[in-house]
Amino acid sequence: MEVEERHALTLKGTSEVLVPDELGQLLATKEHPKVYIGFEPSGPFTVGQLVTISKILDLEKAGFVVTVFLADWHAFINDKLGGSMERITAAGKEMERVIRVLGAGSGVRFRWASELIGNSDYWSRVIRSAKAMSLARVRRAMTIMGRNEAEADMDSAKLYYPAMQVADIFELGVDVAYGGIDQRRAHVLAREVAAKYGWPVPIALHTPLISSLKGGGRMNAGEEGLMERKMSKSDATTAIYATDSEETIRARIQSAYCPVKEVEGNPMIELALHLILPWQGRLAIERSEKHGGALEFARGEDLLAAWTTGKLHPLDLKSGVARSLVEILRPLRA
């Protein structure tokens, strides 16, 4: 695969790269760069998280060696699954299985935080990382845990989390740190820590988040507001799970927020733009001739044009999104 093609595949569906010139240089000089994404094992994937799985598959195709980091100790610190390491481990194994079933190949490997915890070099990295951060910066970084700054006072272990996440990047020895845009603060911290100590500076790659099925408002209205508006597995009324039945998927899509012509905070438009088009390459809308006939969109611009001018009805959009999600998740049900 030519460098230009690898570059386009790496950028496909992303919302931000820190920084683009560094990514271009990396791809031009390294055939198999290393990238990581971290997941807290905390229950089934939501369809919002499928955006990141789609990007994992893209990165593998682009020649990256992808590390999926199952952050079991981070999940424990963050009180996931009642703080039960047994349940957290089981959830992590299920996450690995889902990612494999959805298409991850030999270029994707899995690592656990528990593999690093017993290493003194890792804790040296954690301490050095923490020394490079003010307490105020650590508190502001609570959004990477899906929490706000005030919740940092719940227990002192949570203050370790940002330094641990930064240390993970360097211990795994990756060129690129990838995640949803909600992980931006951790990645910026990692770049600052690297500059302070002369460590290799990681490139940061981010993809958009998907709004709650209840409606999200503006996803760029501050990081704490963003956390409150994204699809969350902790609230079943806001999400569709990758393990849901076909009937459940269709029912939740049918009742989802989808105001006519609106784009901001509209989970149906976001699923179409950030998941279905990148994953399947098209969004098919089945309509009777009475209602204008079938439509097919291969480009986000065309979908947005039809939507914002009222040529595409919410019920038809929902029907197309539901049909595509059912198809994407078919391997899991099989």
User: 208 with 15: CB under 8 angstroms?
Assistant: yes
Fold of 3-207: Rossmann fold (3.40.50)
Question: Distance of alpha carbon 324 from its chain centroid, rounded?
Answer: 19
Tokens of 160: 């370790």
pTM: predicted TM-score of the whole model, two decimal places: 0.92
CB 38 within 8 A of CB 69: yes
> Torsion over CA of 213, 215, 220 and 221, rounded to 10 degrees?
-130
Does 1.10.240.10 match the CATH number of domain 223-333? yes
**Shortest CA distance to 79 belongs to which of 142, 166, 170?**
142
pLDDT confidence of residue 220: 47
Least confident of 108-122, 161-175, 220-234: 220-234
Q: Break the chain into its structural domains and give their ranges.
A: 3-207, 223-333
Tens digits of residue pLDDT in 45-93: 999 999 999 999 999 999 999 999 999 999 999 999 999 999 999 999 9
Q: Which residues of 226-259 are buried (b: 16+ CB within 10 A; e: fewer)?
A: bbebbbbbeeeebbbbbebeeeebbebbeebbbe
Coil, strand or helix at 324? helix
Q: 188-201, pLDDT tens digit by residue? A: 999 999 999 999 99
Residue 154 tokens read as: 């719940």
